[in-house]
């Protein structure tokens, strides 16, 4: 009963006030880092600042950023989802396989191609709902459930497509990843709008704030009348849909559904979310911070490529930079990473 945490005395008000300001600044903490990276990029190679390169960087990050959006919401709600990266592959693969002819590695169902996008998003929703059901109804650990789903979903995709990449895609599936709206790729618009919606909902609506409450202290949230299970369930379904949409964008951009589409992305997703200040313990972090985390990682990746770092070393250096970024995030908050 006499835990040390409960017995801690509050620091003097001055220190508390300073920590409050730091906590507020935490949201903007990555903005200077982004500015520094842009400066470094411009020095490394003048091409960096060209419109083409900037758009390229942003478009490449759209799929990652949608996954980070999904993961950040789940982390704020105090849960965990590893299976998102497999949804990125399975949702478009299954949707495409249902609409293309058997000759092009389809399933032979030959459904109308207009159904492809709704089916893809529906698959994401169902995967999220299934995750939520296992975690909430059966009381299983979110880590293990979604780790299992990560493997199962990837296996399903390989089973359905026979391990083949799907090339002959209907134009509707390709559209979102390729279209230009007002001179910018549609995927960038989509991402921007979804992040804006997410920031507003999580910041200014009761439903969004209840995600913070559930992640911060589920018992307290329940005592306040929040239906905690329903919140978590919805969060998993929204995340599944976002992952499916990310898969759709990637499919359109690359012009095919690779058997390994999305594989390995989840580690970068977590890195971006944590660098962006989202707590792995739940209840803490903002979507704006998570977005900054994505942009930082995208810029670093781009600069390393432009700087001509050899392809064999780029992964090691990228990983090292993620660790350094985490270290800096830890130092700026002055609190233990959580």
Residues that bind another protein (CB under 8 A): 1-2, 4, 6-11, 16, 19-20, 23, 200, 203-206, 209-210, 212-213, 215-217, 219-221, 223-226, 279, 283-284
At 257, is the secondary structure helix, strand, or coil? strand
The token pair that represents 241 in the structure block? 């849909």
When the beta carbons of 185 and 277 are compared against another protein, the nearer one is: 277
> 195 and 216 in contact (C-beta within 8 Å)?
no
- H or E segment to which residue 18 belongs: helix 13-25
Question: What residues contact residue 248 under an 8 Å CB cut-off, 6+ apart?
Answer: 91, 92, 117, 120, 121, 173, 176, 177
Look at the alpha carbons of 101, 105, 111, 117 in this order and tell me if their dihedral is positive or negative: negative
For another protein, the closer CB: 61 or 210: 210
Whole-number Å distance between alpha carbons of 123 and 145:
18
Nearer to another protein, 25 or 224 (CB): 224
**Which CB sits closer to another protein, 34 or 201?**
201
| Nearest approach, Cβ of residue 79 and another protein (Å) | 15
User: What are the strands, taking DSSP E only, across 53-186?
Assistant: 180-181, 184-185
Q: Helices then strands (H, E): number in the chain?
A: 15, 2
Beta carbon nearer to another protein, 97 or 290: 290
Minimum CB–partner distance for residue 334 and another protein (Å): 13
d(CA 33, CA 31): 5
Cβ-contact 120, 248 below 8 angstroms: yes
Structural tokens at position 334:
């002055």
Shorter beta-carbon distance to another protein: residue 51 or 219: 219
> How far apart are CB 232 and another protein at their closest, in Å?
15
Nearest approach, Cβ of 330 to another protein (angstroms)? 17
The distance of closest approach from Cβ of residue 222 to another protein in the complex, given in angstroms and rounded to an integer, is 8
Dihedral of alpha carbons 248, 315, 324, 51, sign:
negative
Contact 68, 273 (CB under 8 A): yes
What distance in Å separates the CA atoms of residue 163 and residue 257, rounded to the nearest whole number? 11
When the beta carbons of 104 and 207 are compared against another protein, the nearer one is 207
CB 23, min distance to another protein, A = 6
Nearest-approach distance from CB 204 to another protein, in angstroms: 4
Rounded to 5 degrees, φ, ψ at 115 are: -80, -10
Distance of closest approach, residue 213 Cβ to another protein, in angstroms: 6
* Residue 321: Cβ within 10 Å count: 18
Nearer to another protein (CB atom), residue 130 or residue 195: 195
């Amino acid at each position: 009963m006499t835990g040390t945490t409960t017995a801690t005395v509050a620091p003097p008000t001055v220190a508390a006030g300073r920590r409050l300001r730091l906590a507020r600044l935490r949201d903007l903490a990555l903005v200077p880092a982004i500015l520094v990276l842009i400066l470094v990029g411009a020095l490394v190679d003048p091409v960096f600042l060209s419109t083409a390169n900037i758009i390229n960087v942003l478009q490449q990050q759209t799929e990652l950023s949608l996954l980070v959006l999904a993961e950040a919401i789940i982390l704020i709600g105090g849960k965990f989802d590893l299976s998102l990266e497999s949804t990125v592959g399975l949702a478009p693969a299954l949707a495409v396989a249902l609409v293309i002819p058997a000759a092009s590695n389809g399933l032979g169902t030959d459904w109308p191609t207009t159904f492809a996008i709704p089916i893809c998003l529906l698959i994401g929703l169902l995967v999220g709902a299934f995750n939520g059901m296992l975690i909430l109804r059966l009381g299983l650990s979110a880590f293990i459930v979604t780790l299992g789903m990560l493997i199962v979903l990837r296996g399903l995709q390989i089973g359905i497509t026979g391990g083949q990449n799907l090339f002959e895609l209907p134009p509707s599936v390709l559209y979102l990843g390729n279209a230009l709206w007002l001179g910018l790729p549609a995927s960038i618009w989509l991402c921007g709008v979804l992040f804006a919606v997410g920031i507003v909902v999580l910041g200014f609506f009761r439903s969004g704030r209840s995600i913070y409450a559930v992640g911060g202290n589920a018992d307290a949230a329940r005592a306040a009348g929040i239906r905690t299970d329903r919140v978590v369930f919805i969060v998993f379904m929204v995340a599944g849909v976002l992952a499916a949409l990310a898969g759709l964008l990637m499919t359109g951009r690359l012009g095919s559904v690779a058997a390994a589409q999305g594989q390995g992305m989840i580690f970068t997703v977590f890195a971006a979310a944590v660098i962006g200040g989202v707590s792995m313990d739940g209840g803490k972090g903002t979507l704006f911070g998570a977005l900054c985390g994505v942009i930082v990682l995208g810029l670093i990746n781009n600069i390393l490529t432009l700087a001509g770092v050899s392809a064999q070393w780029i992964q090691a250096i990228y990983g090292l930079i993620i660790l350094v970024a985490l270290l800096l995030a830890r130092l700026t908050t002055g609190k233990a990473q959580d």
